[in-house]
């Protein structure tokens, strides 16, 4: 992917972060109890989405940073397999 394509891809994904975070959040109540306020969870999910986008377009790929996203989801109490699967 050349730089222009990468920037375009990055921007497209960023504009969809709220939509993605919303879909992820809607998966949670069906699978897990989360003792955090909805807006806090939503903001964290949106931030994790931006981090994931940055990792996807970064060269070289850094798997340790990708693992950090999973750890952050667990810190948000998304530890049930169904909840984690819904955030993918």
Question: Phi-psi region for residue 19, left (φ > 0), alpha (ψ -120 to 50) or beta?
Answer: alpha
Q: Could you tell me the pTM of the whole model?
A: 0.67
Low-confidence ranges of the chain (pLDDT < 50): none
Residue 29: the pLDDT is 62
């Amino acid at each position: 992917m050349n730089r222009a394509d990468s920037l375009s891809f990055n921007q497209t994904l960023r504009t969809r972060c709220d939509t993605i975070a919303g879909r992820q959040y809607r998966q949670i109540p069906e699978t897990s109890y989360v003792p955090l306020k909805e807006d806090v969870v939503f903001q964290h999910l949106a931030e994790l989405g931006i981090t994931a986008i940055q990792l996807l377009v970064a060269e070289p790929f850094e798997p340790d940073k990708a693992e950090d996203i999973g750890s952050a989801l667990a810190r948000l109490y998304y530890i049930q397999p169904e909840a984690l699967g819904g955030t993918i």
